[in-house]
A and B are shown apart, each in its own frame.
Chain A
Amino acid sequence: GESVGLHLPTLSVQEGDNSIINCAYSNSASDYFIWYKQESGKGPQFIIDIRSNMDKRQGQRVTVLLNKTVKHLSLQIAATQPGDSAVYFCAENIWMAGNMLTFGGGTRLMVKP
């Protein structure tokens, strides 16, 4: 389940289980969203993106769901593996902001073997 860690909320899951990481975004005008994964000692890496004209987008073992009504974004990871342990950030973009992304606070995913 979820718990508040030192600074970031932490989600602990058993290897092989599915993970769901949630993000509440701030601006109803946002229309492009990205999930990033940050492993220890590395910069964030792009995982998957979704535009606001979609509710769901699937990648390899990952699915992003977008609920614009409640301004909620989720990242689902199927069959979670130890290599999925990382901090996950959602980011939103508003058309008028050009390239600029606004990042969420992040969630730490810990996978137990």
Chain B
Amino acid sequence: GAGVSQSPSNKVTEKGKDVELRCDPISGHTALYWYRQSLGQGLEFLIYFQGNSAPDKSGLPSDRFSAERTGGSVSTLTIQRTQQEDSAVYLCASSLTGRDYGYTFGSGTRLTVV
């Protein structure tokens, strides 16, 4: 597609449930990133995929969070046993390989844990 697509755009879930958030990057973009943004705050790095390399998971806040990227394209961020503090906007971005390329962000998934 023309841009980074994220689904769902909004998700309300009960505390303790698992959720899956999906990201479709721009075709041909080898790098994919997940960020979390709490209300009125900055961007918190979660995880980074680059081609076939092992992902950089250094930003994942707990072992309840995991992500995978299948076929070098679509990525899924999974949060198990959701907690209220997981409520945030989850942003996905993709980029070409090469350090001079900025990210293209999706519009995010707003997750609310009740």
Asked whether B106 lies within 8 Å of A34 as measured between CB atoms, the reply is: no
Q: Which of A61-107 contact B (CB under 8 A)?
A: 89, 91, 93, 95, 97-101, 103-106
* Known contacts A34-B102, A46-B102; A103 and B40 CB within 8 A of each other: no
Which of A43, A49, A89, A91 counts the most B-chain CB atoms under 10 A from its CB?
A43
Chain B residues with CB under 8 A of A97: 99
Which residue of B42, B99, B104, B108 contacts A105 across the interface (Cβ within 8 Å)?
B42
Asked whether A95 lies within 8 Å of B99 as measured between CB atoms, the reply is: yes
Asked whether A6 lies within 8 Å of B31 as measured between CB atoms, the reply is: no
Chain A residues with CB under 8 A of B95: 99
Q: Which residues of B contact A (CB under 8 A)?
A: 4, 31, 35, 39-43, 45, 48, 50, 56, 91, 93, 95, 97-108
Q: Which residues of A contact B (CB under 8 A)?
A: 5-8, 32, 34, 36, 41-46, 49, 51, 89, 91, 93, 95, 97-101, 103-106
Give 8 CB contacts A-B under 8 Å: A36-B102, A42-B107, A44-B105, A99-B48, A99-B95, A99-B97, A101-B103, A106-B42
